[in-house]
Amino acid sequence: MPLSTKSSNHIWNILFICWLIATIAALGSLFFSEVMHFPPCIMCWYQRICMYPLVVLFLMALFPLDTHIIKYASALVSIGLFFAIYQNLLYYKILPEAAQPCAQGVSCTSDYINWFGFITIQLLSLIAFSLLFGLLFYLKRKLKV
């Protein structure tokens, strides 16, 4: 079914926002590790693996608009979201610390930043993946109708 110009513009805008979120998340995580020299913990790496390719994939899907990206990006976003939720559960001690896989090296529950008393790197990642997940879910619903 060919999309009308109006709805394709709408989809394009939302994918553009997705690309912005992914790019800000990627640059932000690089800022933390390369400029502020916070060593990334293993969970952070797993989430990076899911986030970084999205920067390229969303960009490619914008020119020309390719809605197949929703399928491919959803897979990466779901995996990233899974790790983000897991890490936040560890951080808020809902899951026991002993169950965490990163006993060696950097602790996944360390507080590198704590803005306004509650914004941590772990939370920032969760917010980014949740936003992407929500937007992609919305697009999927929209395209089906």
Does residue 79 interact with another protein by CB under 8 A?
no
Does residue 35 interact with another protein by CB under 8 A?
yes
Helix, strand and coil percent figures for the chain, each rounded to 5? 70, 0, 30
Stretch that binds another protein, among 23-31, 80-88, 117-125, 132-140 (CB under 8 A): 23-31
- The residues, ordered by sequence, that sit 6+ positions from 56 with a Cβ below 8 Å of its Cβ are none
- The residues, ordered by sequence, that sit 6+ positions from 63 with a Cβ below 8 Å of its Cβ are none
Map the footprint of another protein across residues 52-71, applying CB under 8 A.
Answer: 59, 62-63
Alpha-carbon distance of 114 to 24, in angstroms, equals: 19
Does residue 24 interact with another protein by CB under 8 A?
yes
Does residue 16 interact with another protein by CB under 8 A?
yes
Does residue 143 interact with another protein by CB under 8 A?
no
- CA 139, 143, 145 angle in degrees (round to 5)? 120
Stretch that binds another protein, among 21-29, 40-48, 66-74, 129-137 (CB under 8 A): 21-29
What is the token pair recorded at 104?
A: 């060696």
Does residue 115 interact with another protein by CB under 8 A?
no
* Residues at the interface with another protein (CB under 8 A): 12, 16, 19-20, 23-24, 27, 30-31, 35-39, 59, 62-63, 103-104
